[in-house]
Structure 1
Amino acid sequence: MTRPRILVVGAGFAGVECVRRLERKLSPDEADVTLVTPFAYQLYLPLLPQVASGVLTPQSIAVSLRRSKKYRTRIIPGGAIGVDLKSKVCVIRTITDQIVNEPYDYIVLAPGSITRTFDIPGLTDHAFGMKTLAEAAYIRDHVISQLDLADASQDPDERASRLQFVVVGGGYAGTETAACLQRLTHAAVKRYPRLDPGLIKWHLIDIAPKLMPELGEKLGSSAQEILRRRGIDISLGVSIAKAGPEEVTFTDGRVIPTRTLIWTAGVVASPLIATLGAETVKGRLAVAPEMNLPGNDGVFALGDSAAVPDLAKGDGAMCPPTAQHALRQGRHVADNVIASLRGGPLRPYVHKDLGLVVDLGGTDAVSKPLGIELRGLPAQAVARGYHWSALRTNVAKTRVMTNWLLNAVAGDDFVRTGFQARKPARLKDFEYTDAYLTPEQVRAHVEGTARQE
């Protein structure tokens, strides 16, 4: 008899936690485990703004999946672009653009999310995202190059537009991105004696009435006060009406001359979920509290792409797309896959939120661990302590701690790597959202391949 095949899609927090637990709890002859991911590393997303600002190096938060010799999971370098639930086949586009079928007995869907965009003229052509390692590295180069180009320009209008920066999204990603990059430009401009520091302006806008409402009234106000004290212009109840190469128009009519628009206005489930033809909740796959897909044997989903009922909150609430939930769901779903494999009962997922941390750079932070509101250095210690402890390997922890200490002692550096120099790359170029198949295309491809065999 062949061993059962367990296929895990996605190497984010949820997927990697699931794989590692499966490896620990299953004997080698009990099942074959395969992981599908375009990159053979786990990205620690919450620290991306610190990569963009140069506090951390990119490899610090990209934890290699091939580093340890003891792991036995087979890694397929590619992206899942469709799933045929009836045939139990996942369609994969490899990194060489080959389309292959991977059969499974159990599948764990943890493909994560993509940046949520709207039908705003010029948005995908002119905005940057903050969802991938490449985007963070690219944005750092771009922001520093704006200072270089402004310094070299003789045109006061061009200089002014290059020194204005717009970040859309008042959640954690947008707020931390604006905060970290503002600190970078504030420190860097001192090395440009020809530039007037007063020309550097950062705008943080969000359609919501409050910044990071999950923090509560007091901490949210504290975060706003910190950012405003630094000179960041915060506009709430405002979004983008249209975006161009040299200016952005706000919905309140203001036109901001800028060459930098960073879009962090939320996420949506991976387009892979739409290929299943199954029920969804706001684009996320509707699953049971045990994280299995009702009516489909051996199919589990978790993380940003699954609408997992939040039993701790009740009232029909769904677990938010946070790293905290993804980590715990990964371990829990692995236990349920093993239970299913061995004929045992599945357990529902229940987890109480441990709190929130927001690192605003330097000694500025706001945190709410276990409901306790903290500001300043105590909040910063909690925020960085949480992130540091959540890193999966000792190598990653050492790199991150070394980077933090070096930055604290030696300050920022302002080196451009030349990443994609002279090749403009925007939001649409990083997330490959046009790679997925429709449910009909998935079925046609699987049936066509089966006939050829």
Structure 2
Amino acid sequence: MCEAAVRRAGDDQPPEPEKGRDTVARPRILVVGAGFAGVECVRRLERRLGSDEADLALVSPTAYQLYLPLLPQVASGMLTPQSIAVSLRRSRKYRTRIIPGGAIGVDPKAKVCVIRKITGELVNESYDYIVLAPGSITRTFDIPGLTDTARGMKTLAEAAYVRDHVISQLDLADASQDPAERASRLQFVVVGGGYAGTETAACLQRLTSAAVKRYPRLDPALIRWHLIDIAPKLMPELGERLGLSAQEILRKRGVRISLGVSIAKAGPEEVTFTDGRVIPTRTLIWTAGVAASPLVATLGAETVRGRLAVTAEMTLPGFDGVFALGDAAAVPDLATGEDAVCPPTAQHAMRQGRKVADNIIATLRHRPLQPYVHKDLGLVVDLGGRDAVSKPLGIELRGLPAQAVARGYHWSALRTNVAKTRVLTNWLLNAVAGDDFVRTGFQSRTPATLRDFEYTDAYLTPEQIRERTVGSGHTEP
């Protein structure tokens, strides 16, 4: 976009460009989401694009990247929250403008993204290229009482709340004179037999089994953890033998595993299973899968099981300048073939982020785009202590070797040396000194249930987006 120049009266010469300003605006690249995919894309763009080639902006309510796979260890107290919140401002080449908020609608025709800032203010952000990596939300179902009762494990705040809540149940049970209340406070239910649910149940079970030693009035036998899932197998991606190994480890610890079972009804003091059992409990943790961000629906594009249907180059067909990846996109898995799409895992998201950055650079420099191809490196599941199961490059591992691979992978995937140092220090300190089982007490009266964290009603309809963006087009934000 050309800058308007100011002429002096009677000056017939062509206007001179204002000093220090470009005569042609740089392309605007807007990245939505600061998860694995979005951050990797931004960092790649910062490293490989000259400052005069494009302007970069990132939409995120927080100025950090959350390392989600280690969230259960934050809930259990093994890691501090800050250790897995990797700052976005530590990069030496940091020049991206961070917009503190969340994208709630996109108008691809006007090339405008509607953003709700953390203050609640709505703003229109114009772009030339947009990278949609808004991630996912917790997948819920129409189960009575679920969103008002269950707690999630998708954010740093939720992990901190879960830890406070679990320890508070031990405190309240210890102080109670009512055997029924005491029993209900010492039963915990985790729904979801995937990685998040299994690791959450494993880590929190270790937390309560260690903490109960500090409560001489409590009978350790009263503490019961339930892990349930509607699927017939626990973590089927691991394969039959490793899945059974994980089950055996948890059962030896006393975790009651129920497969082919879900929740029929949830209440503040009890949960009803679909097999008819009623479990008195004050703790329901819901990790039964994820769904693509509702932002996907605002584009009016074709989807595959709720995820944007993109090409192997991660462009959105029929939409100029739109790239999508990560949990929000059904990226073809060319390494597997057979019309498969990439699973929503961190390793795919990180590599997709780098490939999208390369393809945007290729577009700017008039070069051909390259498809995304990556062979899955395997899976790691940290069950706490010396227990783990891993399948790196198809090799099945258990126990300490699996634990070394799991923690080594997570440690190496942390983006900054500061984060790596914090995590390693936390692991060593926890192994040597254990936990003090302290509750922070912040906002202790806030329910902190799924309803409090899943802002699924905050997104605009396509009609509302068009009303806001009519006439916006490519104007300066």
Task: Specify if TM > 0.5.
Answer: yes
Equivalent residue number for residue 110 of structure 1: 133
- Structure 1 residues 20-52: Cα deviation after superposition (integer angstroms, max 9, x where no partner): 000111100000011000100000000000000
Equivalent residue number for residue 429 of structure 2: 406
Higher mean alpha-carbon deviation, 386-395 vs 425-434, is at 425-434
- Structure 1 residues 225-283: Cα deviation after superposition (integer angstroms, max 9, x where no partner): 00000000000000000100000000000000000000000000000000001111111
> How far apart are residue 430 of structure 1 and its match?
1.3
Question: Aligned partners of 1:195, 1:436: CA distance in 2, in Å?
Answer: 46
Instruction: Give 2:64's aligned amino acid.
Output: Y
Question: Aligned partners of 2:266, 2:339: CA distance in 1, in Å?
Answer: 37
Equivalent residue number for residue 19 of structure 2: none
Equivalent residue number for residue 106 of structure 2: 83
Partner-residue secondary structure (3-state), 1:346: coil
Alignment of 1:28-427 (within 5 A): 28-427=51-450
Question: Aligned partners of 1:89, 1:82: CA distance in 2, in Å?
Answer: 9
Equivalent residue number for residue 17 of structure 2: none
Question: Aligned partners of 2:446, 2:95: CA distance in 1, in Å?
Answer: 39
Question: Aligned partners of 2:55, 2:432: CA distance in 1, in Å?
Answer: 48
Instruction: Give 1:81's aligned amino acid.
Output: I
Count of aligned pairs: 452
Contact 1:137 1:419 in 2 (8 A): no
Could you say what the CA RMSD is over the residues aligned between the two structures, in angstroms? 1.2
> How far apart are residue 67 of structure 1 and its match?
2.7
Instruction: Give 1:334's aligned amino acid.
Output: A
Q: TM-score scaled to structure 1, two decimals? A: 0.98
Question: Aligned partners of 1:95, 1:135: CA distance in 2, in Å?
Answer: 18
> How far apart are residue 447 of structure 1 and its match?
1.7
Partner-residue secondary structure (3-state), 2:272: strand
> How far apart are residue 412 of structure 1 and its match?
2.1
Identity %: 86
Contact 1:300 1:333 in 2 (8 A): yes
> How far apart are residue 340 of structure 1 and its match?
1.0
- Structure 1 residues 76-120: Cα deviation after superposition (integer angstroms, max 9, x where no partner): 001000000110000000011100000000000000000000000
> How far apart are residue 69 of structure 1 and its match?
5.0
Question: Aligned partners of 1:389, 1:183: CA distance in 2, in Å?
Answer: 25
Q: 1:114 to 1:266 in 2, by over 3 A?
A: same
Question: Aligned partners of 2:330, 2:198: CA distance in 1, in Å?
Answer: 25
Contact 2:261 2:274 in 1 (8 A): yes
Query: Which entry has the higher C-alpha Rg, 1 or 2?
Result: 2
> How far apart are residue 448 of structure 1 and its match?
7.2
Question: Aligned partners of 1:396, 1:185: CA distance in 2, in Å?
Answer: 27
Question: Aligned partners of 1:69, 1:434: CA distance in 2, in Å?
Answer: 38
Question: Aligned partners of 1:344, 1:178: CA distance in 2, in Å?
Answer: 49
Contact 1:242 1:249 in 2 (8 A): yes
Which ranges of 4 or more aligned residues in structure 1 deviate by more than 6 Å?
A: none
